[in-house]
Amino acid sequence: NEVADLVFHTLVMLDRLGISHNAVLETLASRQGISGLEEKASRNHS
* DSSP secondary structure letter of residue 43: S
Q: What is the pLDDT of residue 17?
A: 98
Please list, in sequence order, all residues whose beta carbon lies within 8 angstroms of the beta carbon of residue 34, skipping any fewer than 6 positions away. Answer: 42
Q: What is the pLDDT of residue 31?
A: 84
Q: What is the pLDDT of residue 41?
A: 86
Q: What is the pLDDT of residue 46?
A: 59
Residue 36's closest CA among 46, 28, 44, 24?
28
Q: Tell me what percent of the chain is helix, strand and coil, each rounded to the nearest 5.
A: 75, 0, 25
pLDDT in tens, 4-41: 999 999 999 999 999 999 999 999 998 888 888 888 88
Q: Measured between alpha carbons, how far apart are the two ends of the chain, in Å?
A: 39
Q: What is the pLDDT of residue 43?
A: 80
